[in-house]
Amino acid sequence: MKIINSIGEMKKWSRLIRSKNKTIGFVATMGCLHEGHLSLINTSIAKCDTTVVSIFVNPIQFSPNEDFDSYPRHIELDKQILQTTGIDVLFNPHQKDLYPKNFQTFVTVEDKTNYLCG
């Protein structure tokens, strides 16, 4: 399992894989992996040539009344679990890379967010 922390390295790796006409399965998580995650990972491994799992606790997914800082993070345990799954890459980016200083861009999806989790 390769561990990638930078966006640039992830882009480079994915370009290489796509240049070989291989598919990339992507399972996005916030860590604290459980059976639901493992089911998604196993499906990706079965259906795709390569599988990437991300672990990123996304601050913009938390409401003002939710405590981002107390969200559980067990990266070393998650790495151990992922080691046993057969994934190709763990993408564990740094918050400052995804949300640089003065970040201002957001995507709003109309309609779907009215009846799904948003």
Q: Which of 34, 37, 74, 94 is catalytic?
A: 37
**Residue tagged 């967010």 (tokens):** 113
What is the 3-class SS of the chain, one letter each residue? CEEECCHHHHHHHHHHHHHCCCCEEEEEECCCCCHHHHHHHHHHHHHCCEEEEEECCCHHHCCCCCCHHHCCCCHHHHHHHHHCCCCCEEECCCHHHHCCCCCCCCCCCCCHHHHCCC
Active site residue 37: yes
Residues involved in catalysis: 37
